[in-house]
Chain A
């Protein structure tokens, strides 16, 4: 599962642009993933210029 590291995001929208299911909501300085829609494809994690996302399962191993 993808999580957003607190206080790291710069709210640029790069992840939103590649998200295939439009599950990321980005207000001025407020970002949310809708887990009901997210398909865990991890493209947000792969595209983020500043490593804001974390793959939680992988991190726990």
Chain B
């Protein structure tokens, strides 16, 4: 019984970051316990479910069971509803995360990780100043389980890190207050992502339409915490839906916070590592956190294996994880963060003039390179980066 055992590694949270950490740690041969507070892995889904083929392939072979749509193009819609269509070099997907997250947990279990749901972690154990396990509640019973290392993959709440003294609180301006509804009984282009950019639709964020087949879509938006106090995300979305899809049926709805920040400066301490949203690993420009979370999880899981084998779980040893993260993605995220800041400073008028300039290129000549050239002319530097980011999602 897990409550009486001691583990090499305990992971808090069964999202993409936690399950991927569990899988790679178990592959490395250490004992792993993953605790998830919800009843089911993968439910409720708090996500637009978009991810790139290239990003996913690092970790898993795309499986038709969890792919709802294959995306080959994207459309940017300006405040006055001018549009730019761009073909994507790399295809993207809209996933069904109920199945996807479930499978990720299954892969971890297949490698020998133990997974427990309905296990709410509410504190950390410390030994000689080092994190040494977790406390919590499972089906009305208290538990205390020891481990040499804990990975906090507890998502946007990120309390595990705080309990060990890490500064994980998200600044208001960097938290996207987000809401999404899955609308059925509508017609959409099932191969296209749509992004609406305007202060009127979603200040400090954007509105998305991500198709789930030809007759349904995830339609959602994020509003920066800088603006959400004046009008809630829900009101923005309800207005858009009433205007654009008045006859659609809402078959699912979800809300959530997306930490669109640079990765935390410090996300490791003695005996503890954070991965995914809890370490602010989301791409701050797109709000995409599935692939970055899996990357963080993989690196943290592998580092846990090395630390256990070396018999050293100190912050100094574990620091190879943040080093590896920054080498692969952290720097990019800093660039994305600057782009985000620059875009959200643009007025609706400026956005419109950029889109109008690009619109003049005829669609069949509209290679990404040409779009760049035109956009650069209108707004040097900024737009190139934006396009790169969107094209790579």
Task: Give A residues with C-beta under 8 Å from B.
Answer: 10, 12-20, 22, 25-28, 43, 45-51
Contacts and interface: CB of A to CB of B under 8 A. Distances in A.
Contacts, number: 89
A18 B255 contact: no
B155 interface: yes
Interface in B212-228: 223, 225, 228
Contact of B259 (A17, A43, A45, A48): A17
Given A22-B159, A47-B175, A49-B234, A14 B229 contact: no
Interface in B106-128: 118, 120, 122
A25 B157 CA distance: 10
A51 to B, nearest CB: 5
Nearest to B179: A49
Interface residues of B, number: 35
Interface in B137-175: 137, 155-159, 162, 169-172, 175
A27 B37 contact: yes
Contacts of A13: 155-157, 256-257
B179 A50 contact: yes
A10 B170 CA distance: 20
B287 to A, nearest CB: 13
B280 to A, nearest CB: 10
A14 to B, nearest CB: 3
A25 B123 CA distance: 12
Contacts of A25: 122
Given A16-B156, A18-B172, A50 B37 contact: no
Contacts of B37: 27-28
28 contacts: A10-B44, A12-B156, A13-B257, A14-B175, A14-B177, A15-B257, A16-B156, A17-B169, A17-B170, A18-B225, A18-B257, A19-B169, A22-B159, A27-B37, A27-B137, A28-B37, A28-B39, A28-B118, A43-B225, A46-B225, A46-B228, A46-B229, A47-B172, A47-B175, A47-B225, A47-B228, A49-B179, A50-B255
A51 B228 CA distance: 10
Given A18-B257, A28-B118, 6 more contacts: A10-B254, A17-B158, A17-B169, A25-B122, A48-B177, A50-B179
- Chain B interface SS verdict (over half): mixed
A18 B256 contact: no
Nearest to B221: A49
B359 interface: no
A25 B137 CA distance: 13
B159 A49 contact: no
Contacts of B254: 10, 12
Contact of B170 (A18, A45, A49): A18
B33 interface: no
Contacts of B178: 14, 49
A19 B158 CA distance: 11
A50 B256 contact: no
A50 B180 CA distance: 11
B233 interface: yes
B256 A14 contact: yes
A54 B38 CA distance: 26
Contacts of A51: 232, 234
A32 to B, nearest CB: 12
B98 interface: no
A43 B172 CA distance: 8
Most buried by A among B39, B118, B169: B169
B46 interface: yes
A46 B228 CA distance: 6
Contacts of B233: 49-50
